Structure 1
C-alpha cells in the first residue's frame, strides 16, 4: 500500500496544544468504544480478557491514539493504522462474514468520538472552527480506515476464491480417479473446497455445441470443460427435481448421464457416460438433451462387450447370418420383436406394422433355421442381447 500522509486531511489546522489534554483520555475513550461496539455487534461480544477481546481493545486504542497524535502535524504516515484495518477486513473475509459488523463498529466508534469531542469542546473552550475542523477530520479519517478494511476484505476474498477454486479442481479430478481415491481423502478436499459432499453422484459426459458456448453452472456442480472429454459432476442425481434441473441447465447439448455411484466411484460413472455419449453421437441413442445411461442398459452392455457379441452372432445365429441380407434382416427384426413380446404373434405384428400371418410365417422359418434354441430358456437372454446389438445398434458379424 502506498504511503499516506495528512496532505488530504486537515490535521495541521488544529493546534496540537488544543488537543493535547485529550491524550490522557485515549484509553478510557477506547474502552467506551469497545463497550458500545460489543453491545451492538454480537460477533464482537467477546470477553475482555480473551485473546480476541484484548486484540480488539488494542486495535481501537491504536486508532484513537493515532488520530489524536496527528493533530498539529504536517506529515503523518497513516500506513500503521490503515494496515490494522486492512488486516481486520481480511480476517472478516477469512471467517466467512460480511463487512456489516465491522462497518457498524466503525460507525459506533465515530459516534462515541463525536459525543466526547462535544464535551471536550466545552471543557477546553474550543472555538467553533476548531470543533468543526476536529469533527470534519474525524469523518474523513473514519472513511479512510473503512476503505482500508474494504480493500483488505476484497483482497482476501479474491485469494480465498482462487484457493477454493484450486481445491475444487483437485476434488473434481480425485472423484473420477481410477483406481479410486479413499473416501477420507475426498472428504478432506471437499471441506477445503467448501463443497457439500453428496451421498451419491453421477458424471455427465457433455459435448459442447458447434459454437463452443457452454452453460453457466451453479456452484454445487463441478465441471471440467477443458478436458478431452468434458464432463460435469452431478451431486445426488436421483433426488427430487434433478431430472428437470439437468435438462434445464444443459438444454439441447448432447450429453449422457452415467450411473449413480458413491463419491469415490466417479470413474465408473464417467466411463459409461462416455460410452453413452459416443452412441448418441453415432445416432444409435437419442442425440439431443441429456440421456440416462441406465435407460439404455442393453445397448451399452452390448457395445461394452462388442467383440464377444460379434463372436456370438457368428456362432449362435450362424444359420440366420448365412442368408442374404434382404432375407435375414426381416427375420432378425421379427425374432427380436417376437421374443420381446413374449412369443405373441399378434403383438409382434402390431409392433412391426405387418400382417399377423407374415409374422407366423417368419417364425416358422426361424424355427427351421435355429431349431430348439429359439425357445430354450437358458439361451433367451443371450438371444435378446445378440439380436439387440444386431437390430437396434446396426451391428453385424462381418
Structure 2
C-alpha cells in the first residue's frame, strides 16, 4: 500500500493536506501527553513527601523508563502485528485504570513511595505500546512528503502538552492534593481514548502472505534492519548517549530546585513553570525547524540542535537564577525538537511500514534503555559529589554526541533515502 491514500480510507486530496484523521490523532496526542506530563512531574513531587533521598527520588524516573529496557522489543513486535490504533486505545485505558487505583489509595490514606514505584513501572510498560504505535501510525495517515510537516505538528502538540501544560498543572494538582493529582491524568487518558476512537479505519500493517514467523524472528528482523542501516545506527547511538545525560540530571533536578533546602529554593508551582520553558522552546523549535534545515542542511542543523540541547543539562551547573536556567531550557528545547524532527522523519522514510514498529522499538530499546541507567547514575553521583557537579559532568557527555555527525552528513542521508525509494 502506498502513502497516496490513508489506511483509514480517507483520501489525501493533496500532499499539502494532512487530513481529518491526522488532526483527530493530534487532538488525542495532546490529551494523552498532558496526562503524561502531569504524572511524570507529579510523582516525584508527591514522593518528596515520603523521602528526601536522591537515590529514591531518582528511582522514580528509573521506574518510569525501565520498561523501555525490558519491554520495548516485544512491544514493537506487537505493534507490527496488531491494529495500531487499537493498541493505543488499550494502552491508555490501562494507564487510566492504574491512576484511578492510586486515587483510591490516596482517599483511604494508604499510599507509599513503593506504591508509586509500582504504578510508575506499570504505566511505563503501557507507554511502550502507546508510543511505538503512535509513531508508527503516522506514515499511514499522511503522505510521505508531508512527514516532516506532520511530525513537526505532532511534536509541537506532544511537547507543549507534556512539558508546557503538564508540569505547571502537576504543581497545581499536587498542591490541591494527591487525589486530584491522580484523578486528573486518569480522566485525560480516557478522554484521549474517546478522541482516538473517532480516527476512522484499520491500521494493522500488512504482512507477507502465507508467512508465519516467531516472536523471536520478528524482533530479530527489526534489530538487523537497524544495525545494518548506518545512519539509523548512528542516530541511535547519539540519542542513547544524550538521553543518558539528560535523564541523569532531570532525575535529581527536583532536589536541586524545590524547597528551602535546595539550591534554587523554588515552590512546587514555580518548579512546574520552570520545566514548562523547555516545552515552550520545543514549540518554537518545531515552527522554525523546517526553515533551519532549509538554510543549513540537515547535518548542520543537527550540530546546532544538539549543541543548544546541551543547555538542558548544563544550565543548572552555571547558575541558580531561575530566569537564566529557564532561558537555557528554552533554547535547549528548541534545539532538541529540531533533531527529533530530522531523525524521526528520516526513519519513517527509509523503514518499510511492516517494520516501523520493530525498528522503532529497537531504537527506543537502546535510547530509552539508557534512561534508567542515567537516572540511577544521576542519583548516585548526586549522593557522592553533589547535585551541581552532576549537571557539569553530564553536559560534557551530552556534547560528545556531536562526534556522530561525522557519519551522518547530507550525502549519507540522501543516499539512504534514494535506496529506500528504489526498494
Q: Give the TM bin, normalised by the shorter chain.
A: under 0.3
TM-score (norm 1): 0.20
Q: Answer 1 or 2: which has greater strand percent.
A: 1
Q: Answer 1 or 2: which has greater helix percent.
A: 2
TM-score (norm 2): 0.19
Higher relative contact order by CA 8 Å / sep ≥ 6: 1 or 2?
A: 2
